Amino acid sequence: MTNQMIRSVFRSQHLHLGRVNPEGDATIEATWMTDPGYAEDRIPPPARPLSEHELLKKLQSEVKAAEGSGSEILFALRANLDDHLVGFIHIHSILWNQRSSRMKILYGGKANMERFGTEIIRLSLDYIFHEMNLNRVALTYPEYRQAEIDLLKSEGFIEEVRRRSAHYYHGKFWDVVHLGIIRRDWHDREGEVDHGNL
């Protein structure tokens, strides 16, 4: 029973949370950088396609930062079938005393988001709420990233803040949408009793 519980925290039906392998992952990630949405999520503006060498250095730096920090965790999202990379999860700005964090999901291309998006969110939240024992997590997207926003809302995230005209992109100002979910609401959706919030 115990082994099954431990496995379930890191693994879902098609995916698992794995370690980042900078050398191998940079090669795959470089193919995703032609997607403007991915490039925008990956680096501060202005977005540009990073080379494999640049991504290798970036991944090495991110792994080192996460290893030496108590405020961030970095995972590679990998397929159970053949261990291939489908994206990354970066849990950051962790405030342990507040039991809260922020999260960034890097879907490795639109196809991976469409195929695995729901599973990625559920696997991430399962880890955040069960293993890390946090109470809330939040993400931020500009309003034109409607597919990602709709996906999060379908999994129980609520729009908590909207910063008007806070993001400039392609000649237009866009609102920035902050979405969050708390442990109690996640447990209610999953049909579980949340003993920590009774």
Neighbours of 85 (CB within 10 A): 20
3-state secondary structure at position 107: strand
Burial letters for 104-140: b for 16+ Cβ neighbours within 10 Å, e otherwise?
Answer: ebbbbbeebbeebbeebbbbbbbbbbbebebbbbbbb
Residue-wise DSSP of 33-100: TTSHHHHHHHSSSSP-PPPHHHHHHHHHHHHHHHHT-SS-EEEEEEETTT--EEEEEEEEEEETTTTE
- The tally of domains found in the chain comes to 1
The predicted model scores a pTM of 0.89
CATH number at residue 12: 3.40.630.30
Mean pLDDT in residue range 71-93:
97
- Give the range of the structural domain holding residue 21, as residue numbers without chain letter: 2-197
Question: Which residue(s) pair with 18 in the sheet?
Answer: 76
Length of the chain: 198
- pLDDT band per the 50, 70, 90 thresholds, residue 30: very high
| pLDDT tens sequence across 134-157 | 999 999 999 999 999 999 999 999
| Ramachandran area for residue 170 (φ above 0: left; ψ -120 to 50: alpha; else beta) | left
Token pair recorded at residue 125: 């939240």
Does the structure show a pLDDT above 70 at 192?
no
Q: Hey, CA dihedral for 14, 124, 105, 118, is it positive or negative?
A: positive
| pLDDT tens sequence across 98-114 | 999 999 999 998 899 99
